[in-house]
A and B are shown apart, each in its own frame.
Chain A
Amino acid sequence: MKDLLERLNTKYNLTDIKYQRDNLVFLTIGKENTIDLVTHLRDYEGFTHFVLLSCVDWIEEGKFQLTYFLNQPERKYDIAIRTMIDRDNAEMVSAHHLWRQITTYQRELREMYGINFPGSPGVDENFILEGWDDIPPMRREFDTKQYSEDTFFPREGRKTHDPASYMKEKLYPTEPTTDKVNKTDE
């Protein structure tokens, strides 16, 4: 694994290399070289099993992280290739020609995150969400709870009480207390 990375380092500019386990390494590479590296690993290093293509939304940084998971079945190790792309007008080079299932992944990412993969077959077709008219739902700013509150109507009559504020109301309504809300987030 170490010598493989040394070999790759001479060809590619790899950053943020992190060994999560002895046989699983995460690394970051620039957007323009990603598919090149994936192809190289498949054709020359025996990473023939494509595990997963995933996306992480780093909304604070305005970036999507695409993660390509490749597995080397002979030597039994994995490389996860991270690449950061802009969140606005997100677009990535398609890799559907490398493995057949990538078409499905790219369709899903298009639908769930709004990332475009020009040239990927059927990338604009509905995958899971037929007739969806909101923003791509896996984006961090999409609030599932808010959506369900706006879309559906809860059964009437539920009301809960926060123990601390209820006790204040019952036992010492006029006395000074700290004005912080008692409960943490949510």
Chain B
Amino acid sequence: MGKIKDILSPFTAWGNVVKEPVTIKKPIGREAAPRYRGFHKNDIDTCIGCGTCEVICENEAIDLVPVDGIETKDGDSGLRPMIDYGRCCWCALCVDVCTTGSLTLSNEYTWVSEDPDEFRFIPGVDKKSWDDNEKGWKKPEPNYEFYGKKRVEMPELHAEDRDKSFIEFVTGYSKQQAEEEADRCVECGICTATCPAHMGIPEYIKAIRNDDLEEGLRILYETNPLPEICGRICTHKCEDVCSVGHNGDPISIRWLKRYIADQNPSEKYKEILNAENIENNGKKVAIIGSGPSGLSAAYYLALTGYECTIFEKLPEAGGMMRYGIPEYRLPYDQIDKDINYILSLGVDIKYNVNIGTDITLDKLKKDYDAVFAGTGLHLGRSTRIPGSDHENVYFATDLLREISLGNEIHVSEKIVVIGGGNVAMDITRSLARLQNNKFGKVNVTATSLESEDIMPADREEVVEAREEKAIIDPGWGPTSIEIENGKIKGLHVQKCLSVFDESGRFNPKFDESNTKFFEADMIVESIGQGMDVEYISEEIREQIEFDQRGRIQVNDYFQTGAKWLFIGGDIIQGPDVIHGIANGHKAAIGIDKFINQNG
């Protein structure tokens, strides 16, 4: 019986003859699933050309190419990915790793062209029919990351522990923390262009990952001889353009730099940096001012064998780094670590020497082969509002300098600071500490013309100042200081509507009906600083070019019209430390060229 069944049962398949066929009638044009990995799309306005897609592509199918109309600028390399579909395997790793999220895949999978070169194109630039296709592969969400999106938090002292003293409140990364933070870097190198000193940022971060901090220090010193200082107070423009910051926190580049410098003991610097035997070339350079630009110039000149002498007006070296930045942000011993290393290379420094009075610039010209001046901006600027000539109206820079010199300054119970930059925050936070020590409470208000979103101070400075109980009240323009019986009563302000006009010039507009009064018995002005170049004699001045607004003009190597005189630092660019360092480095190269051509 079984045999009969075995013969008959296959014939049941004939039942299918009367069934509807399951074949798809029109297979071409069938839409793929919403998650399908088809041809690439790229939002070229969001894309920054960081090249991470190229790095992760396992088939080397992606090239980064320049595109007409996309400009190379800070934070955007101007390059865009070009895909070679002869190599692409549609794995979409490029999409998943994309730092900005601009790269996606469409769900289009059919495309015919007779020209093989067409299968190599720049998505988003070379228009394709699927560019507006909403469907297709996108990076899965949430909690699907190829690198850490969250910054490793920097350990800090609590506001309560720090607001009475001037000890450093940022404690620095541990080894594990630094390596974890360094791991987040995608090594695109977009930051290098934005850094004024063009530091090898991805390279030194890589050195941290490899736990090769000596190599890290060597990389730092190639472009920056003040890493301890920059590692603490640099304005870190690099972090603003960090590609990882587009979808997450940018890498803590500054803290990582500090980590490298902190971990290398100063007594080993010479050995690590291979600076034990520098040959003297017999040429001499005078450097006026021991701020960042002067020190940087001295360092790179000394490395090349020049005999450098720094003339410093104040009793200690460092310029604004020592006398402008409060100790809680930048401890003096760390300044000394960087400076002492530069001095150890044979750089001579003469303190308490005032150029122009103690020794003239002409004499320097005679005695030295070249002169670099990085004298900075030390003169406070006044608002010139009524009452600003009162004796209890101070300049922030003056107060900060006095604090650093160890002199007692006038501190009263109610203080208003005018200004919204980093210097204003520095003096606000310093005064808060002094008030806390003197009166046991804080009553200091900082007010600026700029509203909160465009305040020039670093964001964390504002946040930390508030943590330390200072009041930050931005968006007000000062009109007058009220004085009664010779004593300051307070500051009148009016609402500032806009700071810049349409063409971007400084031209503030006010709402005169919206006013406010800040009570105070002491007022500090911190609205910018001016340069003091009295020491340059008329004769030399005639050779130097000034622009309409009185600014000194220099060439690419910071050389002035007086060929032997190089000027850099805050006077030319900035004001900040990292520009000073970059200027000094560039000027050192210029001085070397100048002297060699003359000789």
Contacts and interface: CB of A to CB of B under 8 A. Distances in A.
A167 B586 contact: no
Contact of B84 (A158, A168, A171): A158
A157 B63 CA distance: 11
B188 interface: yes
B65 A182 contact: no
Given A158-B84, A176-B223, A178-B222, A168 B63 contact: no
A161 B66 contact: yes
Contact of B199 (A163, A178, A184): A178
Interface string A134-161: 0000000000000000000001011111
Interface in A102-132: none
Interface in B62-99: 62-66, 72-73, 77-79, 84, 86
B206 interface: yes
B189 interface: yes
B202 A172 contact: no
Given A163-B79, A164-B190, A167-B193, A180 B50 contact: no
B556 interface: yes
Contacts of B331: none
Nearest to B220: A178
B51 interface: yes
Given A168-B192, A179-B222, A180-B219, A163 B64 contact: yes
A16 B167 CA distance: 51
B181 interface: no
A21 interface: no
B116 to A, nearest CB: 8
A157 B72 contact: no
Contacts of B84: 158
A164 B86 contact: no
Interface in A49-101: none
Given A160-B63, A163-B50, A164-B188, A178 B203 contact: yes
A175 interface: yes
A13 interface: no
Contact of A161 (B55, B65, B585, B586): B65
A42 to B, nearest CB: 40
A20 interface: no
B214 interface: no
Contact of A184 (B79, B187, B192, B219): B187
B198 interface: yes
Contact of A164 (B120, B192, B589): B192
Given A155-B86, A179-B222, A184-B187, A163 B198 contact: no
Interface residues on A, range: 20 to 34
Majority secondary structure of chain B interface residues (helix, strand, loop or mixed) = mixed
Interface in B431-450: none
A176 B586 contact: yes
B250 interface: no
Q: Is the interface of A mostly helix, strand, loop or mixed?
A: loop
Contacts of A167: 72, 77-78, 189-190, 192-193
Contact of B72 (A166, A176, A178): A166
A160 B80 CA distance: 10
Contact of A163 (B73, B117, B189, B589): B189
A167 B190 CA distance: 8
Contacts of A157: 117, 120
B289 interface: no
B198 A177 contact: yes
A102 to B, nearest CB: 33
Contacts of B222: 176-179
Nearest to A159: B63
Contacts of A166: 64, 66, 72, 77-79
B72 A164 contact: no
A183 B186 CA distance: 10
B49 interface: yes
Nearest to B206: A184
B54 interface: yes
Given A155-B86, A177-B200, A178-B203, A164 B193 contact: yes
Given A178-B222, A182-B202, A171 B189 contact: no
Contact of B193 (A158, A162, A171, A176): A171
Interface in B201-222: 202-203, 206, 219, 222
A161 B72 CA distance: 13
Nearest to A165: B189
18 contacts: A157-B120, A161-B65, A161-B79, A162-B51, A162-B64, A163-B51, A164-B189, A164-B202, A167-B189, A175-B582, A175-B586, A176-B198, A176-B589, A177-B200, A178-B200, A178-B223, A179-B222, A182-B189
Given A162-B64, A178-B219, A183-B187, 4 more contacts: A162-B189, A163-B64, A164-B188, A167-B193
